[in-house]
């Protein structure tokens, strides 16, 4: 993505990986939110097969794996994230049942009806919520669960600045009610939802990221791409602080309906 037309919104992908590799998580969330979502999942059995799609370096995967028996496969497009994921699993002694695999969420390496639980935090937007939940359903056993977090509007209307910001970044953002309806249409039932609390964005995401910015800029002294990346992260955080009453992330937990 590095080219002459590079803008502040399109930093070099390698720089993005380098920056986020040092972070515990690559999107908003928290261990408490992961466990709250897990509390809506019942009857997993003794050896469930779980997939965490768009797992990043596995912050939430390790929380999940400590509370779920069986095997957990993390899938992410970025090999550096998967290397770190597998290192984290080894350090926690989870390597026998927690594995990271490089792969894409639009071409998952699972057998049909093989998964008891699909997990995905802050990642489905990469192919779009509706497409993701629709295409992933066939990998679930009948009655299997999906737990996915996704950005949502929190109010019916909003200032033009934040509306336009999301329309240019992710126009699929919508209300919890509309996304719940999409889940029903895609063949899921028993849909439970909750909004991630503010600390999932601040204490667990933007604050740790801003602490990483100094060492990142030191590592890439004089690199305009690195400066642009940090600037765009700061802008994103400013936007959140200014407009957080209007948007957030919601968790959706549901069951394959047949
Ligand atoms: N679930 C993690 C990471 C969220 S960031 C967390 O909550 O911290 C989104 C992740 O999706 C990144 O790690 C990114 O590399 C990954 N990703 C982007 N496109 C993808 C694709 N097509 N297939 C699999 N992973 C993808």
Residue range 53-83, pLDDT digits in tens? 999 999 999 999 999 999 999 999 999 999 9
Query: What's the pLDDT at 111?
Result: 98
- How far away, in angstroms, is 121 Cα from ligand 1 center? 8
**Ligand 1 atom closest to Cα of residue 25:** 8
Q: Which residues line ligand 1 (CB under 6 A)?
A: 25-27, 29, 54-56, 59-60, 75-78, 81, 104-106, 121-123, 126
**pTM of structure:** 0.95
Residues 193, 177: Cα–Cα separation, whole Å = 10
**Ligand 1 atom closest to Cα of residue 17:** 15
For residues 91, 92, 98 and 99, what is the CA-based torsion angle, rounded to 10 degrees? -10
Query: What's the pLDDT at 107?
Result: 97
- How far away, in angstroms, is 76 Cα from ligand 1 center? 6
Question: Residue 133 burial (CB < 10 Å; 0-12/13-18/19+)?
Answer: buried
Instruction: Pick the residue whose CA is nearest to atom 12 on ligand 1.
Output: 56
Q: Whose CA is closest to 232, among 173, 158, 161, 165?
A: 165
Q: Which residues are within 8 A (CB) of 164 and not within 5 positions of it... i.e. 6 or more apart?
A: none
Query: What's the pLDDT at 123?
Result: 98
Query: What's the pLDDT at 11?
Result: 64
78 SS3 class: coil
Query: What's the pLDDT at 258?
Result: 81
Pairing label, strands 98-102, 188-195: unpaired
Q: Which residues of the chain have pLDDT under 50?
A: 1-8
Query: What's the pLDDT at 12?
Result: 85
Q: What are phi and psi of 58, to 5 degrees?
A: 95, 20
Question: Residue 82 burial (CB < 10 Å; 0-12/13-18/19+)?
Answer: buried
- How far away, in angstroms, is 164 Cα from ligand 1 center? 24
Query: What's the pLDDT at 10?
Result: 59
- How far away, in angstroms, is 18 Cα from ligand 1 center? 14
- How far away, in angstroms, is 120 Cα from ligand 1 center? 9
């Amino acid at each position: 993505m590095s080219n002459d037309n590079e803008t502040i919104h399109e930093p070099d992908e390698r720089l993005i990986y380098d920056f986020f590799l040092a972070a515990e998580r690559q999107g908003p969330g928290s261990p408490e939110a992961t466990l709250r979502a897990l509390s809506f999942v019942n009857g997993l059995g003794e050896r469930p097969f779980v997939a965490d799609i768009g797992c990043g370096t596995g912050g939430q995967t390790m929380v999940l794996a400590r509370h779920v028996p069986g095997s957990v496969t993390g899938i992410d497009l970025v090999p550096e994230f998967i290397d770190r994921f597998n290192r984290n699993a080894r350090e926690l002694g989870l390597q026998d049942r927690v594995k990271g695999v490089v792969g894409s969420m639009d071409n998952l390496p699972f057998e049909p009806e093989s998964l008891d639980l699909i997990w995905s935090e802050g990642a489905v937007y990469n192919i779009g919520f509706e497409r993701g939940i629709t295409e992933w359903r066939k990998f679930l056993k009948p009655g299997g669960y999906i737990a996915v977090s996704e950005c949502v509007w929190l109010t019916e209307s909003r200032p033009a600045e934040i509306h336009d910001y999301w329309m240019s970044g992710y126009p699929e953002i919508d209300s919890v009610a509309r996304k719940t309806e999409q889940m029903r249409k895609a063949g899921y039932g028993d849909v439970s939802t909750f909004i991630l609390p503010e600390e999932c964005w601040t204490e667990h995401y933007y604050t740790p990221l801003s602490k990483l910015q100094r060492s990142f800029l030191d590592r890439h002294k004089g690199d305009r791409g690195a400066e642009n990346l940090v600037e765009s992260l700061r802008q994103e955080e400013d936007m959140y602080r200014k407009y957080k009453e209007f948007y957030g992330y919601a968790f959706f937990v549901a069951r394959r309906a047949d």
